Amino acid sequence: MKIFVSGKLFEFEEATVKWRPEHVLAKLCKKQLEQKQDVSAYPNAVDITLPNRPSNDLGLIRSPDAEIEASTAATRSEHITVHGRSTDAFKAIMTYYQTGRLHIPLCMCIGAFKDEMDYWGISTSELTECCLYK
């Protein structure tokens, strides 16, 4: 599974994703449709509406190749990138999807991480006990 966040590639085995909240891919599609803006760091990226894909699983966010060129991104229908989000927070969130344990990264402001959790639709009740009262 591959997803680009702020131009950085995150790649992991789909089989390791144990927690699959329904709202994330649907949120990306809804944001794209409502705001009519590109959710990509690439200037030539695809206008993503995803009518032919199920919209209930983060595990369905994919790209066909890790080395997608900006010049060919417009022809790739399976390419989704997200800009303006913290890559450190996204690492923690992807680890949560894989392990079921959500920790606040040491390098992040708690308020900034809370903003990322809100963006991805994750409740503060999902934080592990060691991070709950930071």
Q: What single DSSP character describes residue 11?
A: E
Mean pLDDT confidence for 48-66: 37
Helices (H) and strands (E) in the chain, counts: 4, 3
16-31 pLDDT, tens digit per residue, is 555 544 445 555 555 5
The full set of domains in the chain, from first to last, is 2-132 (3.30.710.10)
Comparison of pLDDT for 104 and 41, the residue scoring more: 104
Comparison of pLDDT for 33 and 71, the residue scoring more: 33
Q: What is residue 94's predicted lDDT score, i.e. its pLDDT? A: 82
| Least confident stretch, 12-21, 53-62, 82-91, 120-129 | 53-62
Comparison of pLDDT for 82 and 108, the residue scoring more: 108
Q: What is residue 8's predicted lDDT score, i.e. its pLDDT? A: 73
> How far from 5 is each of 47, 129, 130, 131, 132, CA to CA, in Å?
17, 27, 27, 24, 26
Q: What is residue 75's predicted lDDT score, i.e. its pLDDT? A: 41
Q: What is residue 115's predicted lDDT score, i.e. its pLDDT? A: 92
3-class state of residue 124 by DSSP: helix
Query: Residue 3: pLDDT band by 50, 70, 90 thresholds?
Result: low
